[in-house]
Structure 1
Amino acid sequence: MSIASEMLRALKRLIYSDCEWLRSYEIEALTAFYLHLEKADRSKLIRQFEHLDMIQRSPNGKLLQFFDGLDSLRKNWAHDIKIMPDQSVIGFQFSVKKEHSLYLRFVIFLGKGGFGEIQFIRKPELYQPRARKTKEVADLLKAASVVDGLHTVIFEKIISENEEYDLERELDLKP
């Protein structure tokens, strides 16, 4: 990567405060999604996270969006790193149980094959606020083989367009 590219990324990180730290529950959601994918799509997701280096989080922590600091519209991304590129938007809903009770519930959205955002329907009360940097996600996912034994991950369903609309409306209404 060129020095100019690195300087541009560093400048964007200064402008957008706290744009590089993920919370522990966000890491858990990413890991659950990664482990749900087929092997080929896992490799694609890791390659995407080699580009995704910035995040934007809603004030209530229920929405987390990922960005490529140099190509925010992902125009220059290779087609072979996209997951389900023929789908304009697709959402995957998961729940995570800890000690037999609901701990975390979320939907991960891909837009035209690119990882876009996580919407948390339920997030934990307690979490580590600065668990990992965004630029470390690719390495973290490469090392993931299972979700820890305290958690049970359940893939619930693919989200319909109506459910997607309802989730977006709920994000706007709830603090």
Structure 2
Amino acid sequence: MKNQDGKSALLLMDLQKGIVSRFAEQDEALYPFQKALETARKHEIPVFFVRVGFSEGYPEINPKNKTFSAISQSGGMTISEEATQIHDSVKPLENEPVITKYRVSAFTGSNLEVILRAQGIDHLVLSGIATSGVVLSTLREAADKDFSITVLKDACLDSDPEVHEVLTEKVFPKQAEVKNIADWTDHLN
């Protein structure tokens, strides 16, 4: 699907069982992600699922990394575990790639950029958990890599609603278009 910015792709980020269970206690919290996925598929926009996961023994985790070093001590989040699998409510189709990353940004340590460039994608539609984590980090890196970006405000979750609001209203608009799913859908129609 082309828009005025070029070929687009939807990134559904960190919608994996171990993260969804911490942020989305009610099923309704996942409806916006399901709607974004349904819209992308309807308009033949490629969908990429991004998850965070680690190899057995955690060779990717440096003890100085405050975010991930606790995982290497307590265990969990290896790529084979249930916690790193994409949540059943937004299950990927066979032709939709699942990208594994090793840091907060969807780009860091993954093959995402290689696949995007190979497919001629230059416009990213971002959604995910958490707004202050994967969405913020991916937006910043994508902007530095000269992608055009849309953030689906209502398809982002954060444990702090105030932080979500500040990011989507004041920070993200400096580098991205921020839309709700209804406006994005109208734009595609």
Same fold (TM over 0.5): no
Q: Which has the higher strand share?
A: 1
Structure 2 length normalisation: TM-score?
Answer: 0.25
Structure 1 length normalisation: TM-score?
Answer: 0.26
